[in-house]
């Protein structure tokens, strides 16, 4: 007994397999894009910047000779130690904070700092 396979009988399983998986892909969902708020980044206070801020805040005081400013990770204030005039030692201290406008460093408690 011989079985005669016609080309159509051979193609039917292939057509059944080809029909599987031809579901349309779901439409891509557009995700809303959230724009980040602009972040104002101030320069890290160094010796020159501290001397400038100090001179603007305390115009009648001696000029800053040397300074070291440190900012703790995540802190909004900067702690600075400095020496005035000919003094090369860090005998004074001040705290810098971001000004009300948000674009510059200012000395916190300026009256006390200028009186030192």
Separation CA 67–CA 69 (nearest Å):
7
Cα angle 17, 22, 25; round to 5: 155
Return d(Cα 109, Cα 114) in angstroms, integer.
9
Q: How confident is the chain (116 residues) per 10-residue block, as mean pLDDT?
A: 64 63 74 72 88 94 94 90 92 93 91 88
Q: Report the predicted TM-score, pTM, of the whole model to 2 decimal places.
A: 0.64
């Amino acid at each position: 007994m011989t079985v005669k396979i016609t080309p159509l009988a051979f193609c039917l399983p292939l057509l059944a397999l080809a029909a599987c998986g031809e579901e349309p892909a779901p439409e891509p969902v557009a995700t809303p894009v959230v724009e980040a708020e602009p972040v104002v980044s101030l320069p890290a206070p160094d010796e020159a910047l501290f001397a400038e801020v100090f001179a603007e805040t305390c115009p009648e005081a001696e000029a800053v000779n040397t300074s070291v400013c440190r900012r703790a990770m995540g802190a909004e204030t900067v702690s600075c130690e400095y020496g005035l005039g000919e003094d090369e030692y860090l005998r004074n201290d001040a705290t810098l904070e971001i000004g009300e406008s948000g674009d510059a460093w200012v000395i916190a408690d300026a009256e006390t700092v200028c009186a030192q």
